[in-house]
Each structure stands twice: as C-alpha cells, then as structure tokens.
Amino acid sequence: MTELQAEQGAQALEVPREAKTRRNRDALIALAVFVVLALLPTVFSSKLLLDFVIRCAAYGLFATSLNLLVGYTGLISFGHGMFFGLGAYGFGLMMQKTGVPVPAAFVATLAITLVVALVIGAICVRLKEIYFAFVTLAFQMLIHSTILSWVSLTGGDQGLRGGIPRPPFLGIDLSNQLHLYVASCALLVIGLFLMHQIAQSPFGYTLRMIRDNATRASFIGIDVWRAKLTIFVLAALFASTGGIIMALFVSGAYPEFAYWTISGEGIFINMLGGVTTFLGPMVGTVLLLILNDTVTRLTDYHGLVLGIVILFFAIGLRKGLMDFVVEWYAQRRNGAGERG
Amino acid sequence: MDLDALTGCLASSACLVTQTTSGFIIGMLLFLVAVGLTLIFGVLKVVNFSHGAFYMFGAYFAMTAYQFSGSFALAMLCGAAGTAILGLIFERVFMSRVYGADVLMQLLVCYAFVLIFDDVVRMIWGPEFKSMGMPAAFQVVPLFIAGGVVPPYYLLLIGVALTAAMILGLGLARTRIGKVIRAAAHNPGMVSALGINTGLIYGGVFALGGMLAGLAGALAAPVRSLTPGMGFSVLIESFIVTVIGGMGSILGALIGALLIGMIRSFGSLGFPLFTEGLMYLFMVIVLVSRPTGLFGKEVA
C-alpha cells in the first residue's frame, strides 16, 4: 500500500499539461459511462433495474463523498448521513412549500447544506479522531431529533408525505421514471467526475498528507484546519446531492434518511469496497444494496445478518474488495516485469 | 419555548425538588453507562460504540430474572453479572482482535454488534415495548420533601449509583488492582513486561464497564420501558457526558452526567421540544471552550 501511495505521490509532480490531458481523459470516461448508463433502458427494460441504479446513484454519491473524508483525509465522520438527510428534507420542503422550479430548489438546497456544513465543520474538524467521530454523530442525532420534534414543518416521524411535486423543466419531467433515471445517472457521473478531480488535484494530495502526518503538513505551512473544513463542506455538498436524488426517487423524505444508521452504512460501504481506491465506495454501494435487498427478502433479522457480514469484513478480511483487486493487479504487473 | 413554566418551577420548592430528583435519576443512570465507556476508553483506548447494548441487556436480564424469581435483588444481580460475562466474551473474542487496527475497524466491529445485539433482543424478547414493573417492596407511599414528590425507589437508585461511583473511585485510587489498571492505561508494554497479564486486565476492565452499564439498565428497568434499540439513545447521551466531562475521567463523567441530567429535567419544562437540542448545544459550548472536556487531559 505504501508503494501505491508513493506512486500516486509521484504522479502529482507531473507537468500541468499532462494533468490537463488526464482531466480530458477522465471527462471522456465519464461521458462514455454516462452514455452506457443512459442506453441501458433500451436494452433492459426492467423497472427494477432502473430503480436499483437510481438508488446506487443516491448512495454512491453519499459513500464516495464520505471516502473523501475517511479515505483521503483520515477524518472518520460518523455523522455524514446528516447531510444526506439534510439534502432530502431541504429539497423536499423547498418543492412542497415554495413551488420553485427543480433546478432552483436543487441549488438552494446545496446552499443550505453549505451553510450548515460550514457551521458544523468549523466546530468539528479541529477535534481529534475519536472526538470528531462522535461529535459528528451527535450533530447527526441533533438533526434527526429536530426533524422528529418539529412536526409542523417536517411531519415528525411520518416524514414528508403527500409526495414532492416535480414540475417539468427544460423538457425534463422527473416524475417520469425514465427521465429521473437519466437525471440521476447524470448527477452521479458528474458528481464522481468532480470528486475525482478534487482527489487528483494538488488539494487532494494536501489532504492525503494531512491524513498521513498532520503535524508535518502544518509545519510546511499548510493551514490544516482550513483544508479539513474545505473538504468537509465539499463532501457534505455531494452527500446532499445524494439525498436529493433519494428524495426525488421516493417522492418524500423520512427521518430514517437522517438517522445515524445511514452514516454507519456509509462507513460500512467504504469498508466493503475499500478506501484506498477512488471507485471502492461505488463498488461497495452496489454490493451493499444487493446484499440489503437479498437479506431483507430472506429474513426479518436484517441487522443480524448484516452485522455478521460486517464482522467478516472487519475482522476476517480487514480490507475492501477493491483493495484486493488493486493488490492483485499490482502483483501481476510486478510479476510481468513491466514496472521499474 | 415555555420560559414561564421554567421560572414558575424555579420559584416553587415542590417543583424544584421533583425536577431535581428526576434530574438526579437521569444523571445517575447516565453516569453508570458513561463511566464504563470512559473507563474502557482510558485503559483500552477504544471507544465501545456498542456500550448501549450492555445497558439494554442489563434491563432485559433483570426483567427476565424478576419474572422468574420475583426477587428484586436477584434481578439486579443478574443484570450486572450477565452483562459482565457478556462484556468479557465480547472483549476477548472480538474487540481484542482490532486493538492495533485503526479507529475505523473498531467502529465497524462495534457497529456490527449494535445491529446484531438489537436483533438478538428482538428474537428472544420480541419487538414490542416491555416493562418490568415496580417491585412490591417499593410500591409504598412516596416521600414528600419540601412539598416535592420523591418515590423511594429513586433514592435507592441514586444510592446504588453513588456507591458504585465511590467504590470505583476508591478502588482505582487505593487498591493494588486499581494501580495495575492505571499503569496498564499508561504503559501496557511495561506492565506486561513486569509479568502482569494485560489481556486479563483488558478483559476485566471491559467486563467491569459492561457490568456498570448492565447495572444501569437493570436499575432503569422498573422505571423505563424496554425495547430493542433502547441502548442507542443512552449511548449517545453518555457519549455527550464523556465529551463534556473529558474522556477517561471518572469525576468528569459524574459531573457531566449530573449536568446533562439537570439540563434534561429542567429543559423539558422550559424548552419541551428542544430538550435534546439543549444537550448538544451545551456540549458544543464546552467543546469550543475546552476541546478535551471539563476534566479531560490531552488525548494521546
């Protein structure tokens, strides 16, 4: 793993022109993935599959943004789900109460998330790891209990009911499943592309340095607090986007979206897929959703089975799936002698 | 917001006594859970995220023992001893495997057990709300102190919790075992080199922490309703307590728990919808002014 990191570190020193080519290549890959996803309904017309991909988009954005904190910066947030819930509720309320167009509500929700994340982040990011984990968790519970007790606004434990109005805009009608599917895929691909750019930018390498040695980073003049706060807010924005997709998908928002288990699942997704690769959380999301659907169908004791699977990964494997893939690939390349 | 109710209460001695007692009850139960959490953190350097489950098991064990035997003392004993054994097994079989690993792994193992334990309770005792009922010995006329109502059971609860706090504090400060535990918290490698089985100490501390949480659950069983997942809100609150008091400090846990108890008790009068918010607000204020808590030392 250290070799891998060293290699990534070396890449950061590339001349800017090559960084630009790489960005173009990333954009091309993103575009290709989007086209494939968008054409999927013409091949498989299963509604279940489309629903599955929409949920993957919502949770995938959430989990990948969490990885920016956990994997890249070493900030173990146990309350990242609050921004998922905030996105869902913010967007749902905006659409229900004000009737503004969808894009306006989307931007406004992100703006609200930005402010909330700035305030919470400013308090949290200077805390040491365990304190950070639990204080973020406490904020998550604060938001959850606010949602539960502010019945007149949020509907309390019933959630936002009566559906979220989704008026068509620019020829896109989000109440149509196919349109929603394409929009979710677009948001997912754009979100992943942006997060990848953040991770590959000089700022992304600053984050890795803070993770590996925060004291040293601060000695060479990096404002650690500001860098942590920046990534905390950025990650919150992407998590919020995931929440918005979820609210659009279920046409409502429920207190469970802001409950701590969402954060727990996010951490587990990262573990499942692996935090050392950018796409690990995405793989983890697909795995967890498949696992969840299967387990819920087979047994009432969903937590029991999930818990045992988590134990298997945490104690037995100690790595995510993508970590194994990367190791296997690195070994193969080494074996073939293609690398110096 | 209902500030009139709050000021009205503060002016009347009857209401003051009642609310203070209820604040003490909440605080003492929280203290028992939080002190286990802080002890485990102080010695083992792990945060037992599944600590709430021990509280839950303590309550369910006590209820079952009480239903079978009808003896309140036996119920308390079962609650405490059962969770102590559970804690020992949990630490030796699972937690001891992730000591060297990063915090993420420890959190995940505990997260897994939160899910597993909640479902196990659901399997054995069912998903519905249960109640143990007040033992006959305590179904007597409540005491009236300065016009306020104080059920005798509350006094017992406060007494047991304070006794536990004193035994714990004195035990850690004065006895040989206490010294070894403090040494192990400070430098486990050296303690182990001196021929002391640190694994045993770790297991013992975890069992002790579990036992205290179980005792809290057992004490709470007659006055609270039992449900799977009941441990989680207690866990969050006791975490707030340890953050306020400072991780690893027993005195901090006591003060923090009482503060939270009073905030909950009086806050529910003045800010009925924002009682929990008050706790978080208080925690944030403490954290911003003293990042390591009121009595905390710098965490290594």
CA gap A267, A263 in Å, rounded: 6
Residues of A numbered 61-120 whose beta carbons fall under 8 angstroms of chain B's beta carbons: which are they? 70, 76, 78
Count of CB atoms situated within 10 Å of the CB of A29: 14
A283 part of a folded domain: no
A38 closest CA partner among A181, A177, A156? A181
User: Closest residue of A to B293, CA-based?
Assistant: A131
Residues of A in contact with B285 (CB under 8 A): none
- ipTM reported for the complex surpasses 0.85: no
| pLDDT attached to residue B186 | 83
pLDDT per position as a tens digit, A323-339? 777 778 788 777 665 44
d(CA B288, nearest CA chain A) in Å: 7
Q: Which two tokens stand for residue B138?
A: 């305590």
Provide the CATH number for the domain around residue A177. Answer: 1.10.3470
Mean pLDDT, residues A193-214: 86
Q: What mean pLDDT is reported for chain B?
A: 84
**What phi, psi does A15 have (nearest 5°)?**
-70, 150
Give me the percent of chain B exceeding a pLDDT of 90.
12
Give me the percent of chain A exceeding a pLDDT of 70.
91
Of B97, B98, B243, the CB nearest to A135: B243
Q: Does A4 touch chain B (CB under 8 A)?
A: no
A340 part of a folded domain: no
pLDDT per position as a tens digit, A114-160? 999 998 888 888 777 777 887 888 888 888 888 877 777 777 777 77
**What phi, psi does B243 have (nearest 5°)?**
-65, -40
Residue A78 makes CB contacts below 8 A (sequence gap 6+) with A133, A134, A136, A137, A140, A260, A263, A264, A267, B107
Task: Flag if A145 and B277 touch (Cβ within 8 Å).
Answer: yes
Task: Flag if B47 and A134 touch (Cβ within 8 Å).
Answer: yes
Over the range A183-205, which residues count as b (16 or more CB within 10 Å of their CB) and which as e?
bbbebbbebbbebbbbbbeeebb
pLDDT per position as a tens digit, B66-114? 888 878 888 888 889 999 999 999 888 888 888 777 777 888 888 888 8
Residue A128 makes CB contacts below 8 A (sequence gap 6+) with B299
Residues of A in contact with B122 (CB under 8 A): 301
Residues of A in contact with B283 (CB under 8 A): 135, 138
User: Closest residue of A to B49, CA-based?
Assistant: A134
Could you tell me if B71 and B56 are in contact, meaning their C-beta atoms sit under 8 angstroms apart? no
Q: Does B97 touch chain A (CB under 8 A)?
A: yes
Q: At A7, which amino acid appears? A: E
**What phi, psi does B93 have (nearest 5°)?**
-85, -40
A185 closest CA partner among A34, A303, A41? A34
CA gap A210, A104 in Å, rounded: 36
Spell out the domain ranges in chain B. Answer: 3-125+151-289
| pLDDT attached to residue B1 | 57
CA gap A302, A289 in Å, rounded: 13
pLDDT per position as a tens digit, A271-301? 877 777 888 788 888 888 888 888 877 777 7
CA gap A306, B103 in Å, rounded: 20
Q: Does B278 touch chain A (CB under 8 A)?
A: no
DSSP category for residue B150: E
- Number of folded domains that form chain A: 1
pLDDT per position as a tens digit, A37-83? 777 777 777 777 888 888 888 999 999 999 888 888 888 888 898 99
d(CA A221, nearest CA chain B) in Å: 23
Q: Does B277 touch chain A (CB under 8 A)?
A: yes
- Within B94-197, residue ranges assigned H as helices are 103-125, 152-174, 176-186, 188-193
Confidence of residue B211 (pLDDT cuts 50, 70, 90): very high
Sign of the C-alpha dihedral, residues B251, B104, A287, A307? negative
User: Closest residue of A to B124, CA-based?
Assistant: A301
User: Closest residue of A to B120, CA-based?
Assistant: A304
* Residue A25, domain extent: 2-258
Q: How far is CA A211 from the centre of its chain?
A: 19
pLDDT per position as a tens digit, B148-178? 777 888 888 889 888 988 888 888 888 888 8
**Residues facing residue A253 across a β-bridge:** A160
Tell the residue number behind the tokens 């400013």, with chain if given: A122
pLDDT at B33 over 70: yes
Could you tell me if B271 and B278 are in contact, meaning their C-beta atoms sit under 8 angstroms apart? yes
Residues of A in contact with B107 (CB under 8 A): 76, 78, 133, 267
Could you tell me if B191 and B62 are in contact, meaning their C-beta atoms sit under 8 angstroms apart? no
**Residues facing residue A160 across a β-bridge:** A253
β-pairing, B143-145 vs B148-150, is antiparallel
Q: Does A137 touch chain B (CB under 8 A)?
A: yes
| pLDDT attached to residue B142 | 72
CA gap A264, B248 in Å, rounded: 25
Confidence of residue A2 (pLDDT cuts 50, 70, 90): very low
Of B115, B122, B277, the CB nearest to A146: B277
Residues of B in contact with A225 (CB under 8 A): none
Mean pLDDT, residues B259-264: 90
